[in-house]
Copies of this chain bind each other. A is one copy, B any other.
Amino acid sequence: MNDTDRKPTRMVDVGEKDITFRRAVASGSIRVGRTVRKAIDAGKIPKGNVLEVARVAGIMAAKQTAALLPLCHPLPIEAVSLHLETDDETVRVHAEVRTHARTGVEMEALVAVSVACLTVYDLCKSLPEGQSAVIETIRLKEKSGGAGGHFVFPGSSGKGDGPCDSRS
């Protein structure tokens, strides 16, 4: 008896693909409620400097993507930037990752956003309503490079309008 009854789980071979410039932008947000958002803006979160800690955690997590996601390829990473901003009840997160590799960095960008949001949750969960925070709408905004070419999330402008461009 053997295990060939379905297409096997594997890390697909990217060795035939060219090493090209790869860029991906991902976004997400965490709805923390107005009380917590105001506390973030005022620098009054007891555990620490929420936005900066979330940024560092997101950058470090991007580097751990291949260790976290079973079928992801380990890639060199040449740049990671995260942008965080508060708005009404929400912390909005954008991440941009760039490198030259045989495959794209979409997962690195998505992991960076996810871990940044989880870090915000962790630092704020002891505040009133903190545990009710909701991480929402994590998605790939834009991607370029490789045979698949340029992708822009439907509804976006797609002119390189990544949230990180005007700030880094």
Contact = CB atoms under 8 A, between A and B. Distances in A.
Interface of A: 1-4, 6-15, 21, 28, 41, 43-49, 51-53, 55-57, 59-61, 63-64, 66-87, 98-102, 106-107, 110-111, 114-115, 117-119, 121-123, 125, 131-140, 143, 151, 153-154, 167-168
Contact of A69 (B2, B3, B115, B143): B115
A159 B148 CA distance: 34
A164 B142 CA distance: 35
Given A9-B48, A85-B3, A135-B114, A53 B76 contact: no
A107 B134 contact: no
Max chain B Cβ within 10 angstroms of own Cβ: one of A8, A52, A57, A110: A8
Contacts of A51: 3
A11 B80 contact: yes
A133 to B, nearest CB: 7
A75 B80 CA distance: 14
30 contacts: A1-B41, A2-B84, A3-B55, A3-B85, A6-B49, A8-B82, A9-B53, A9-B55, A9-B56, A10-B81, A11-B77, A11-B79, A13-B78, A13-B79, A14-B78, A15-B98, A15-B100, A47-B71, A48-B71, A52-B52, A53-B56, A56-B56, A63-B66, A63-B74, A69-B115, A71-B123, A74-B77, A78-B102, A106-B125, A135-B137
